[in-house]
Structure 1
């Protein structure tokens, strides 16, 4: 019996364990039943799906709640903005009504002041009488600022008498001012059409400014008309016709004459040749006679000044040949260009004083460069003029 028991007991235990693996509880008691494996799988899947849906609903609930809160806050803010805008509109309407009421009250007071005969309307005479007093005060202040003292009553009256019409408030301006506010076109201002005194003064000052501007433009037009009349042939004025302008080909005399204007810059620039003639006497011997003539011309009183103005007048004379006029203007530009190095040298010498001797080599070199450049410009201009060309210009002189 011992071997049988040793084999049978393990087999029974194995069978019991296999059986209990397919037994499912049907309640909280001790009753058990065999379970269907497929049903167990479906039950497990359904439970998992239920848990997923529950988790999804629980995660979506906070987002929906947040959106509702944001929307509610936005609606509250929008309502507050609408309330604020409505309050501003009410305040603006109240302010406009207050201003309109104040304007009506001021206009009523002004009307009662201007309507001296109490006939219910203001005519030109009453309007002038009411506005001349403040205009006179304003005119007196302006006159006092110009004179630097308070003018007397006689001085103010004298200045007013010298104005157009002899008054500060002409009738035509009073009529324009009435027409600005006259709604029914009767030439009078009733109480409903009247404006406060300050507004009337401002409008009148604008009319006065416009009148002065119109008078200024009329004077300019008259002056231009007089100038045009003077330029007409029938008035005896000198009128240059196209036939009087000498723009034709240059003759031999014109070519020779076009070289003479360059004596002016040579006379003024001969001083820059002092070092060059002293350092190279043999090489510059050929130019010594010309230098002597230039120095002699320079020593004449007002010679260069007279020559400058003569060339200026000649260069604007249309009867002079175009080639000669051109070279006259070129000579003037060269002469003007020589002013710059002379001014620079004078300022430098004045600033350095006795120490200016130390810069003598630099000053001599600068003088040599200026004189050589002048000679080159004159030679080029004379050479081109000899061929009859008049369109040569030196851009450095601004021609």
Structure 2
């Protein structure tokens, strides 16, 4: 028992003594290490000398009882401390044993892992040997003459027994693809059935792709034939065109362009004022325009426009005249575009506080009139030569589509449209 445990036992014993034997005088307990008999003698001497109260004989058993209880409690505490130390020592030993057991387990697992790796390597080696034996056996099954090499016919027969059918050219092609040394035969190291199967599959895929492409071409060709046949049937259902290009037809085609010229007079006033030689033709056009303008509400021009469109749809009229009638109507409708643009520009400038100047208005009107005059001049000259004026962008295309309701008299067409 150590000093600290003894001190602790003494403190607890003193506490037990106070609890059992009653409360002694502080002077008698503080620092006293004498026996009960010496303490009794000192108390008697003090009592006789001082005349104080004397200790009677019944106090001695009580003090001895408290001391006995104190000693018993100290002994029990010492036994508990010893038991605790033994338990701690036993736990430490068990921990060390557990640690040793873990080390043994890790070592055992490592040994097992090494053993498994060795078994796997052995199995792989055995598998490789078995593959080599199987390959040699397969090679010998292909090598019918036991010459140690496989020819193209032997390759073909062997693959045919395996379900891969090849013709003679394909077998020769396959052998050349596998023949690394170029001797025309396959040795064992050149014989790879998987490579041969892969090549055959690739060739089959190429053949299927070629067949699909061929079928697509055939379908496209059939569609073209069907479209051409449908077109021929449609043309056959159309009436024959009137390819007359006589003088009357040519003059009528020229007069058809009076409609856009009359409608463009308002744009040509600045040019007529600037060039006096234009006043004569302008005056004639003004008189002719006055005839149609005399009809109220512009119905005269409307009737002329509708009449020209109706004549252009008549398939019995010459194609040259029908085309020029339709193109003249298109030019007249095109004059609406500069009218809208001029109105938009004037509105924008007026809103900005800058009205359109007379010079700008005259220049714009002159440009529009010159363009219309150029189109009419081109169409007039071409029509006088008996050729349809199809050179006007977009306008001529629309005119041609509008009268495409007849078929030509010959296979190549009239050549005029």
- TM-score band w.r.t. shorter chain: 0.3 to 0.5
| TM-score, normalised via structure 1 length | 0.37
Q: Give the structure with higher Rg (CA).
A: 2
